[in-house]
Amino acid sequence: MPDGLDENLRRAASGFSLLTTGRMRTLHVTQGGSAAASLRIALSAAGRDHDTVIELLDDLTVGPLRGVDDAPDARAAFWERVIGDTLPVWIARLAAERAKFDALAAGSEQIVIWHGQSAADQLMLRRVAYHLRSAPQRLNEVRLSIADMDDPRAWASVRADQATAAGIFPPERLRAKLAEAAPISVLRISRLALEWLEARQANAELRYFVGNTFKSGLYTDLDALVLEHAGSEWRPAARVAGAVMALADRGQLFVSDTVAFWRCRELAAAGRLELRGDARSIEHWRTATLRVAPAAAHR
């Protein structure tokens, strides 16, 4: 091979053999359990049972990020407030998540990062790039977008931002994308790693992804949707949370039911919502009812 061959062509050539011959195990990284489950089915159907799927579970679009890679106490306290459990439990969970990055960096296998056009997937991509920046020759990606949706009536197609995440694609679509795994250039890995550091330092409450750039948001962005759809009449909290999840469709931010219910709870604690029913946990919230507090309706 000529010495002057571009480094990216070298990586593409070596990456092709590693990803397609089946001689070597490949690690596939996804954001969330749904994406991981679908990808495992896709790999099995493709005869790639030797490959391993690494699922990253922390939703990086919400809550503090500063210190998440070394001292995640603030982030653990955030999730304790959102979901419950104890602070030591959350510290342990985030430490286990952090250990996945250490294991990825310590290995020698090729890594394929699966990502759609969503703030969560894009943050995950950048975090992996940051932790693997010293081994750029191992990093590959599969890009997913609205163009990969088979059903034009799918939920992502009607979102204003047409956001997608790896978790919304069925196994058969992911299987078809296996052959598209491609190396990430050294220059791009460096840029992605820097963008992770910038997002971590910004320490926003919410993170949007607009024009390939992260924008900071506030919890009050979601609160406005909650209050808009709660109304003055009693209605199921689950319906209000569902409206927030469906209508928070800008900036490629997917809002989970956990976060939507949390904002309802915070508004109730602030006296802006009234609640009926037991609301100690997310399971109880699914059967609770709520309305805008009369005084809050005039604010």
For 139-150, how does the pLDDT look when each residue is reduced to its tens digit (9 = 90+)?
999 999 999 987
Q: Which CATH class is domain 7-202?
A: alpha beta
- The arithmetic mean of pLDDT across residues 221-230, rounded, is 97
Same fold, 7-202 and 218-298: no
- What is the pLDDT averaged over residues 222-230? 97
- In this prediction, residue 73 carries a pLDDT of 94
* Stretch 156-182: mean pLDDT: 91
Task: Inform me whether the pLDDT recorded for 12 exceeds 80.
Answer: no
Sequence-separated contacts (24+) of 59-62 with Cβ below 8 Å: 59/32, 59/120, 59/256, 59/259, 60/120, 60/123, 60/124, 60/127, 60/199, 60/207, 61/119, 61/120, 61/123, 61/206, 61/207, 61/253, 61/254, 62/205, 62/206, 62/207, 62/259
Between residues 128 and 84, the one the model is more confident about:
128
% of the chain with per-residue pLDDT over 70: 88
pLDDT on residue 155: 58
**Residue-level pLDDT at 152:** 59
Residue ranges per domain, the chain?
Answer: 7-202, 218-298
10: confidence class by pLDDT, cuts 50, 70, 90:
very low
Per CATH, domain 218-298 is 3.30.565.10: no
Q: What is the pTM of this model?
A: 0.88
Task: Report pLDDT for 284.
Answer: 76
According to the model, what pLDDT value does residue 15 have?
38
The whole-number pLDDT of residue 24 equals 81
